[in-house]
Amino acid sequence: MLGTALGIDEEEVKSLFEEGVQSMRMNYYPPCPQPDKVMGINPHSDATGLTILLQVNEIEGLQIKKDGIWIPILPLPGAFVVNIGDIFEIFSNGIYKSIEHRSVVSSEKERISIATFHNSRLDGELGPANSLINAHNPPKFKKIGLAEFYEGYVTHEPLGRSYVDIMRIN
């Protein structure tokens, strides 16, 4: 697997990410007396190449879905969480999977997180890296214009990893 991943041509990585757009979101989750009745952020996967996340005040809340089960990601002092996004899943032809995640709230404590999104360029095409594709490794995702991809991402209803699944070749 890793051998295949290392086979991505550097120029292809550069042409997708060199002019990439970075953005940041600061999330503030106030305490809620009925935390079971609300969701901090609904289940989604990020559109990004990579997301680097800091759980600023080290309060639990982030969860990832693994084998159908929600697993809490306990904050480690000073540590970042690095998440793979949909663009990296598509570009790596599914070798790396974007991660479905959500955040829940606490009844007593406020929580703050900062997510930095490392995106691709905004124009051109997105699809599996050409250097990964051959007769034994056919493309697992369709090609899509990046403008269309980002527009679709922000307008679709966030439902887990449903957006990346639209691009999948069955």
DSSP state of 131: G
In angstroms, give the least distance from the CB of 56 to ligand AKG.
9
Binding site partner of 113, from Fe ion, ligand AKG, none, Cβ cut-off 5-8 A by kind: ligand AKG
| Among the listed residues 4, 12, 13, 27, the single contact to ligand AKG using CB under 6 A | 27
Nearer to ligand AKG, 3 or 77 (CB): 77
- The answer to whether residue 46 forms part of the interface with ligand AKG (CB under 6 A) is yes
- The answer to whether residue 104 forms part of the interface with ligand AKG (CB under 6 A) is no
Q: Which long-range contacts (CB under 8 A, 24 or more apart) does 66-74 make?
A: 70/102, 73/101
**CA 51 to mean position of chain CA atoms:** 6
Nearer to ligand AKG, 117 or 141 (CB): 117
Sheet holding 62-66, edge to edge: 41-44, 101-103, 62-66, 69-72
**CA 58 to mean position of chain CA atoms:** 21
- The answer to whether residue 162 forms part of the interface with ligand AKG (CB under 6 A) is no
